[in-house]
Structures are given as C-alpha cells and as structure tokens.
Structure 1
Amino acid sequence: MQVVKYPSELEWEALLSRSTLDTTQLFSTVQTVLDEVKANGDEAIKKYEKKFDKAILSSLAVTEQEFNEAELTVPDDLKQAIRTAKTNIEKFHASQRFVGEKVETSAGVTCWQKAVAIEKVGLYIPGGTAPLFSTVLMLAIPARIAGCKEIVLCSPPNAEGKIHPAILFAAREAGVSKLFKIGGIQAIAAMAYGTESIPKVYKIFGPGNQYVMAAKQLVSLKDVAIDMPAGPSEVEIIADSSANPEFIAADFLSQAEHGADSQSLLLTTSGELSEKVIKAIEKQLSALSRREIAEKALAHSRIIILKNEDEVIEFTNRYAPEHLIIQTENYAAMAARIENAGSVFMGRYTPESAGDYASGTNHTLPTNGYAKAYSGVNLDSFIKKITFQEITAEGIKNLGSTIETMAANEQLDAHRNAVTIRLQSL
C-alpha cells in the first residue's frame, strides 16, 4: 500500500488514477457470443452455459420447486436480515416518487410532466466469488415501486444448474417477475435481444465482471439502455486526528475485499493517524477469509497526507469517489462541500457496509470518476418522464408570433406555417 505525504498539486493526477479495465480488447470475443445468442436464442445460451458455467440445463427458468427449496434452505436469521433491509430500502425509494405539477408558462399555455415506469427491465446478479443477494434488493425493489410491469432477473448457476438460495429468496421477496439461470455475456444478450424463453427488456441493470461490462457497453450502442458505465468498486475515507483508526481500517478493508481491482483511499492531514491506520489494517487483514483478494486490492490503494482541509475537499471532488466516508469532528460541514460522490457516509458510526446492505440507500453507484456526471441507481432509474402541453385559442394567440419569428429565422417554413394556419383560423 502506497503512503504519500504532502504531494504537490502537480502530483495529484497520478494519485487520482484507478485500476481500470480496458474492455475494448474483449469486444471481439463478446460480440461473437452476442451475435450467436441473437441468432440462435436458447440453444446458444445452453451452449455457453455448458462452456462457461459448466452447467447442463434442460430449462433456463427457475422453477417453483427451486424457489420453495430455497425458502427452506436459507437460515432464518438471514431471512429476517433480508426482510429488514427490504423494509428500509422500500421506505427510502418510495420517498423518491415524482409528483408532476401543471404549470401555465404563459396565458393559455399549460405544460406538465408525467412519470411512467419502464415497462420491462432486466437485472443481472453475479454469482461468482460472492452471491450478491443484496443487489437483488437494490435493483428489484425500486423497479417494483416504480411500477415496472416485468422485472426479469438473470444469475449464473453452479455446475449443478442451481442458483444460490439467498438470491432466489431475495428475488421472491423483492418482487421479481421472472428469474433465469444464465450468466455472463449470454445473460446480457438474452435480455437485450430476447429468446424463446427470455423476454427482451428495455433497460439492463447490474454489476458483473469485465465480460459482462463489455457486453453491456456493446448492447447499449443500439439495442437497449443500461444503468451506467461501471468499473471496479472504490471507497475514499476522509479522517482527522479524532477518528478511530480501527474503524478506518475496517472500512478500508471492507472495500478491498470486494475484488482484486478495488481501490481504497484515505485522505488525512494527520501523519500520526495514518501510522495507526496502517497498523490496524495489518492486524485486521490477517483475520479475513478473503485476505488474498484484499491484499491485491491494497497494492493499488493509498494513504495520502495533505496539507489542509481545503486540499482534502479539492482532491475529493476531483477523484469523485463511488463511496465517501467522512470521519472528522466537523463531518457535516465537510459533507456540505462535497460536489462529486456516489454516496456519502457521515460520522464515525456510519460504515459503508450500512449502505451496501440495509440502511435504505442504493448501493449501485457510479465508479471511476463517473460520479461527476452520474447518479447512483434510484427510483428515477426505472422511469421515464413524458412531457405534455395544452394550448388554448388564447394561448396560440399570445405565443404564436414568437413561434413564427423563431421558425422563420431558422428557415423552417413548415414549422412557421403550423402556427400561422391556426392563427388564421381564429
């Protein structure tokens, strides 16, 4: 892990870098799979499930029996935890409902917006090194609250053709319409194009490996919308001398264990704190079951000691972290100065893990600096807004000459005539 003390602003650019994946080199391989699924449907999916997931499938859909088996398999304490998280996620996302108001922009001219759910959405849930049942809740719950009519979920099966029971339980709790045993590129292709078994959707959500990310990028060019660009997960922690180094170390490592390409940053003005955090990381790391993964992530993680609070804020807004934890005495004041971040965790008792699982906010967030322009997944991610307008005879009389003048000066005569002919009729 790199420790950098008082870097000049000229050195910041290198320190802002991430361990990014260049998915363009995968496009040829990914496109081959996409094309085959588009042409051959279920047959191609079964072929690639056998090749990539080692699963021989007679049917792609999860059966009622499999859902019932999962219900019996998931421990009661996990069921209760999922239900508690579900309640909090529902409360937070339900509060985001859009209420449109009619506005009379000028006499006789009324405009308004209506929020309409995306009819069919597809959710991709990885099942590799960790079964992400929490992501099922984060995606399916707002989709259901938004009013999406069809929520299709794909997740890779194991070699026995089974999906992790916690994913199945969470899917049923969250209101998923249809669930299929498909992973990787072939899952993205199935939802983008539709097959004999899998409905075509209008927008695809969810994380995945570099092949899944490349597939989402390619299908988004002309076939289907996607949630957002995505890269390796990341956290930045801002802390001062009042912070608990054990808490910081735990937050640092909770991000590092996500994956070998994850990144953790600590920004502080306290050299003494940084030394304590390093010792705490070393102690806690030895007890982790995913220690090997965390160690790889730590190799490109950093502790950066800056001169003052202003530098910390400036660096943070340029980095635009996916997750930002602020453990300082004046954390509320610092949080108010943040302009670019996916989700902010304020105070010493607010770990990133809370947002990942159960506080209610969404954990599907922009990475790789995209927080400068993108929001995390929210209720709006599952709706589109249609504008309406109604113009009375009085309204066209009042506004007509303005429209005519603008159309004439753009040399669009038919546009102008559409108004003129109405005015003449009056």
Structure 2
Amino acid sequence: MRVTPLDSVGIYVPGGTASYPSSVLMNAIPAKVAGVQKVVMVTPPDAHLNPAILAAAKMAGVDEVFTIGGAQAIAALAYGTETIPAVSKIVGPGNIYVATAKREVFGQVGIDMLAGPSEILILADELANPAYLAADLLSQAEHDERARITLVTTSKSLIDATERALAEQISTLERKAICEVALQNGHFILAESVSDMFQIANEIAPEHLEIQMDNPLLYLPQIKNAGSIFLGKFSSEPLGDYIAGPNHVIPTAGTAKFSSPLGVDDFTKRSSFILYSKEALQNEATDVITLAHSEGLTAHARAIQIRLEEE
C-alpha cells in the first residue's frame, strides 16, 4: 500500500456570530503534517476580520486566504473560479448552508464530514461538581442556539443543583441569549442505573462526551460511540477545542457511530500496487481464471491465459 498526501485542500473557517482561529489550526496543521502542498482557506468577509484568524493561518502554513463564506465558498473550492483554485478536498465546520453545499459537491471533491451543531453529553455521578457541569454545558451552548446539551445521571439532586448553577452562571455570559435558547432545547436525563447511562450515551453517540464520575478510566471501555471523550472533572471540553491535541472537527448528530474526528489520515490517500513475476502469475492463474469464468467475464480470464501461452 502506498500512502501519498492530497495535492490540495480547502479549509472552511466559520464566521458569523464568532471567529475561530482554533478552527484554522485544527484543519490546517494535520493537512500540512500529511504533506499537502497547497492549503487554501476561506472565511466569511467581515469589516473587522479577526487578526488572530490571519495569524493562525500564517503559523499553520496556509498558502492562500480568501474572504468568502457560505455555500458559494464551498462551490468556489469545488469548481474553481478566476481567483480561487479548485481543490481536491474540503474540510471544516460551517452552518447548515455550508454543510448542505458540501453534500452537493461531494463526488466532485472529497469532504471530511457533514458537521451539525455542537454537542456535549455529560455522564455524571452524585459526586460531580454541579458548577463544573454547568460551566461545561454552557461552553457548548454558547456556540449556537441549535447546540445539543445533555446531562445524564442517576442523581435527581445533581440535576437540581446543576440547574441552579446554570441559572447563576448564564447571567454573566456575553452570549447569554444564545445559551438560553440552546438550553431550552437541552435534555437532563435521569437514568435508572449507571449501565443505562452508558447505553444512552452510546445511542446518542455525541460529538463531545464527558465522564465526570469517580474513577472515570474504569468506564472508558463502556463507551462505543463518541467523537471525543473527556475523562474526569479536570478534563473540561474546551481543552479539546483549543490545546489538548484531539482535533475539534468531530462527527456530530450520531455519526460518531461510524466516523472519527479529523486527523492526518484524512489528508492522505492510499493506492495499492502489485508486481508479479511470471512464476507468481503461474501459481495463481488457475484460481483467477476460474473466478473470471464463474462471473462470465471471459476477457478477464483471457488476459491471464494469454500470458501462460507465451514461451
């Protein structure tokens, strides 16, 4: 198997209600580590484009930057324009319009995933700190009004305490209005047992999963479906967003059941290769010819047979 980097990649860096230099790093760094020669970044135009976006692009080795966003940015990267080059693959999160555009151009180019709103699911026991739980839930709620916020526990008193902590903390946040809408759509689930807690988590397959329980490593084998897993009360989800190492471009909407976070492998492709000697061909020719005839593909069989007839 021969592994080679993609020739070019387009990275989409969201704008709108916030700017995300961290998304530049999370997308561009693994591409460059993989050996991608050309990384093209697009980000929505803004009269006050965050300098940190451009600084991150420079540090991560981005080759070209264009201020264009939305579905039109995805189309430009897929098909090319007079100024924006077409690329081999498009990566990076965006809103529903960006995700839909990525779905439409898949096949013309590769894509990483169809990312939805941010998600966090916390599994907590009765010893968990409600203030920590509330802070971590809000850290994802502030992303988007459609963010999916879930707490699962066997302790009703913990749910009550976490609700009080949320009410206290949300009042101090700059993005309070967004958080309030996201929390209205959130879920606090009272499970009958710890086993049920993990069954619920595996069924939801969240983007971010925190285990704020005593001896969290003991529970790790019970997790089958999650994009990124944070173990223990000091492993807060924002660590993964910014600096801990796991990529923050992570499958959402239950797709962690069959997909993985963005990584170096996503910027490479594999090509198989074979080299047969005449002797090796003779050893396997009968099996190949038999299979070809069983499928009615006589030209396949003939391509092997003709080589056996040569002196």
TM-score, normalization by structure 1:
0.71
Which of 8, 19, 26 is equivalent to 1:138? Answer: 26
Deviation at 1:119, TM superposition (A): 0.5
TM-score, normalization by structure 2:
0.97
Instruction: Report the equivalent of 1:341.
Output: 226
Give CA deviations for 1:108-165 in whole Å, capped at 9, x if unaligned. Answer: xxxxx1111110100111121111110000000000000111100011122x4x5321
State how far apart, in whole Å, the 1-side matches of 2:36 and 2:66 are: 18
Is residue 2:36 matched to residue 1:148?
Answer: yes
* Amino acid in the other structure paired with 1:397: Q
State how far apart, in whole Å, the 2-side matches of 1:260 and 1:393 are: 65
Give CA deviations for 1:161-197 in whole Å, capped at 9, x if unaligned. Answer: x532110000000000111111112211111111111
Instruction: Report the equivalent of 1:191.
Output: 77
Instruction: Report the equivalent of 1:203.
Output: 89
Structure 2, unpaired ranges of 5+: none
State how far apart, in whole Å, the 2-side matches of 1:303 and 1:366 are: 22
State how far apart, in whole Å, the 1-side matches of 2:212 and 2:283 are: 57
Deviation at 1:253, TM superposition (A): 0.7
Q: Greater RCO between the two (CA within 8 Å, min separation 6)?
A: 1
Give CA deviations for 1:82-122 in whole Å, capped at 9, x if unaligned. Answer: xxxxxxxxxxxxxxxxxxxxxxxxxxxxxxx1111110100
* Amino acid in the other structure paired with 2:203: R
Is residue 2:156 matched to residue 1:271?
Answer: yes
Instruction: Report the equivalent of 2:64.
Output: 178
Deviation at 1:423, TM superposition (A): 2.2
Is residue 2:5 matched to residue 1:117?
Answer: yes
Deviation at 1:409, TM superposition (A): 0.5
SS at 1:303's partner residue?
A: strand
* Amino acid in the other structure paired with 2:51: P
Sequence identity percentage: 46
* Amino acid in the other structure paired with 2:105: V
State how far apart, in whole Å, the 2-side matches of 1:186 and 1:409 are: 49
Deviation at 1:273, TM superposition (A): 1.4
RMSD: 1.1
Instruction: Report the equivalent of 2:306.
Output: 421
Contact 1:267–1:305 (CA under 8 A) maintained in structure 2: yes
SS at 2:309's partner residue?
A: helix
Instruction: Report the equivalent of 1:320.
Output: 205
| Count, aligned residues | 311
Which of 151, 168, 176 is equivalent to 1:291? Answer: 176
State how far apart, in whole Å, the 2-side matches of 1:265 and 1:241 are: 16
Contact 1:163–1:181 (CA under 8 A) maintained in structure 2: no
Contact 1:127–1:164 (CA under 8 A) maintained in structure 2: no
- 1:380-391 paired onto structure 2 within 5 Å: 380-391=265-276
Contact 1:328–1:347 (CA under 8 A) maintained in structure 2: yes
Moved more, 116-125 or 390-399: 390-399
Which of 97, 121, 128 is equivalent to 1:236? Answer: 121
Structure 1, unpaired ranges of 5+: 1-112
Is residue 2:246 matched to residue 1:358?
Answer: no
Deviation at 1:393, TM superposition (A): 2.1
* Amino acid in the other structure paired with 1:128: G
Instruction: Report the equivalent of 1:373.
Output: 258
Contact 2:95–2:116 (CA under 8 A) maintained in structure 1: no
